[in-house]
Amino acid sequence: MEQLEHIETLLERASTPADETARAAAHRRWASLAHPLGSLGLLETMLEDAAALTGSADLCFDKRAVLVLCADNGVVAQGVTQTGPEVTAAVARGFAAGESPVCRMAHAARCAVVPVDMGILNFPPTEGVLSCRVGNGTGDITCGPAMTRAQAEQAVLAGAALVARQAEAGVNLLATGEMGIGNTTTSAAVACALLDRPAEDFVGRGAGLSDAGLARKRVAVRRALEVNRPNPADPLDVLAKVGGFDLAGLCGVFLGGAAYRVPVLADGLISTVAALCAVRLCPGAAKAVFASHVSAEPAGRAVLDALGKQPLITAGMRLGEGTGAVASIPLWDMARAVYAESYSFDQCGVEAYQPQGEGV
């Protein structure tokens, strides 16, 4: 499968329309099954959306992977986190060893874990961690841009290339994850820029900041926005100025999902902010974005609302790593089991339900 070398080519591929014929076929399949129409709610519309994305109502999600993009963020120097950047590297090694929370959840969900180094600080080549390094961590966004625009484009294209590689290997369902100390700060800054909201609305405690730490984090986001003045009409500018390598890479993953017609499960705040960047770059990318859960971070619900997506799970999760996205995979399995294997009205000898409006 060819890899897209230019942002413009990627956006063109991602902008192809959803297949409404396939969506209609999936809808008819659901309507034929012996159950009240639409009674499985989001599980039904989710598979219809997947059919429209993939172009087929014959759905299969038997090979799945979670892409966990890892990078460090210079803003950590502002005291916005409990721990230092060395934790990013330690957790990345934990992914490779299969020991982290997402690894254990992924094992239960029959999902491969693919850790990716997008720019972990001083991180050497490590067995089990795929290297897509854009830089050795980003700059401190309170002092200047996180990265150059060229680096942002490189990261986006690297994310799309990851999807191309997975699709070529037969993966038909992708989950998104991330690891990077300080990335709730960068994602809050990107969300504030894109949605024109103040830091007080979107900056949360992340991995458990004290009141003093939360105050420093809000100051850091305000200063980053004032210093860099990201252009909300230009998502690449926003990513380059106040984002992170992980965020830009995840943006590329969602664009790649649209380009290569692979459903991509958004995780929590960081990946949904990345999805919002992708959709702002290319509205057609929305067809590949599937919300798994709503993050407990303050901006979690607002970003999903901006995307027009409804989460499958509301569980107060905020761990990251892709845990929320992976937690939703069994719901995909159960939905498909009903969709593909449940008996029809004809088979059980029951008259089919007919759509009725209110008051009928």
Q: Are residues 38 and 81 in the same domain?
A: no
Confirm if 134 and 158 have CB atoms less than 8 A apart. Answer: yes
Q: Are residues 107 and 189 in the same domain?
A: yes
Task: Supply the pLDDT for residue 353.
Answer: 74
Q: Is the pLDDT of residue 358 over 60?
A: no
Least confident of 16-20, 37-41, 104-108, 301-305: 37-41
The closest alpha carbon to 204, from 190, 191, 217, 220, belongs to 217
Q: What is the helix (H) or strand (E) element at residue 65, kind and residue range?
A: strand 64-71
Q: Are residues 198 and 120 in the same domain?
A: yes
Q: Are residues 129 and 18 in the same domain?
A: no
Q: Looking at the 3D structure of the chain, how many domains does it have? A: 2
Instruction: Name the β-bridge partners of 167.
Output: none
Task: Supply the pLDDT for residue 58.
Answer: 97
The residue-averaged pLDDT of 72-84 equals 95
The burial class, CB within 10 Å (0-12 / 13-18 / 19+), for 214 is: middle
Q: Are residues 275 and 344 in the same domain?
A: no
Q: Is the pLDDT of residue 359 over 60?
A: no
Task: Supply the pLDDT for residue 357.
Answer: 61
- In a domain, residue 79? The reply is yes
What is the chain's mean pLDDT, rounded? 94
Q: What's the domain range around 263?
A: 64-332
Instruction: Name the β-bridge partners of 70.
Output: 117, 179
List the catalytic residue out of 86, 153, 321, 341: 321
The residue-averaged pLDDT of 281-309 equals 96
CA dihedral angle for residue 79, residue 180, residue 304, residue 5, rounded to 10 degrees: 130
Q: Are residues 268 and 245 in the same domain?
A: yes
Q: Are residues 302 and 341 in the same domain?
A: no
Q: Is the pLDDT of residue 259 over 90?
A: yes
The residue-averaged pLDDT of 4-26 equals 94
Task: Supply the pLDDT for residue 153.
Answer: 98
- In a domain, residue 41? The reply is yes
For the sheet with 173-179, list strands across it. Answer: 130-131, 111-119, 64-71, 173-179, 264-266, 289-291
Q: Are residues 28 and 88 in the same domain?
A: no
Q: Is the pLDDT of residue 351 over 80?
A: no
Note the pLDDT tens digit of each residue in 298-310. Answer: 999 999 999 999 9
The closest alpha carbon to 251, from 232, 279, 230, belongs to 279
Task: Supply the pLDDT for residue 360.
Answer: 42
Task: Supply the pLDDT for residue 1.
Answer: 58
Q: Is the pLDDT of residue 73 over 50?
A: yes
What band does 267 get if pLDDT is binned at 50, 70 and 90?
Answer: very high
Q: Is the pLDDT of residue 348 over 80?
A: no
What band does 277 get if pLDDT is binned at 50, 70 and 90?
Answer: very high
Instruction: Name the β-bridge partners of 344.
Output: 33
- Give, in degrees to the nearest 5, the angle at Cα 299 between 195 and 76: 100
Q: Are residues 114 and 20 in the same domain?
A: no
Does this model's pTM top 0.85?
A: yes
- Which one is predicted more confidently, 207 or 213? 213
- In a domain, residue 69? The reply is yes
Give the pairing type, strands 111-119 and 173-179.
Answer: unpaired
Residue type for 298, please? P
The burial class, CB within 10 Å (0-12 / 13-18 / 19+), for 205 is: middle
Q: Are residues 51 and 123 in the same domain?
A: no
Sign of CA pseudo-dihedral 53, 54, 59, 62 = negative
Residue 153 appears among annotated catalytic residues: no
Q: Is the pLDDT of residue 174 over 70?
A: yes
Q: What is the CATH classification number for the domain harbouring 271?
A: 3.40.50.10210
Q: What is the CATH classification number for the domain harbouring 13?
A: 1.10.1610.10
The residue-averaged pLDDT of 175-198 equals 97
Query: What burial letters (b/e) apply to 333-347, b meaning 16+ CB within 10 Å?
Result: eebbeebeeeeeeee
What band does 25 get if pLDDT is binned at 50, 70 and 90?
Answer: very high
The residue-averaged pLDDT of 263-286 equals 98
Task: Supply the pLDDT for residue 356.
Answer: 66
The closest alpha carbon to 134, from 113, 124, 148, 145, belongs to 148
114 contact partners, CB below 8 Å, separation of at least 6 = 65, 66, 67, 68, 130, 162, 166
Q: Is the pLDDT of residue 224 over 80?
A: yes
- Which one is predicted more confidently, 5 or 118? 118
Q: Are residues 75 and 131 in the same domain?
A: yes
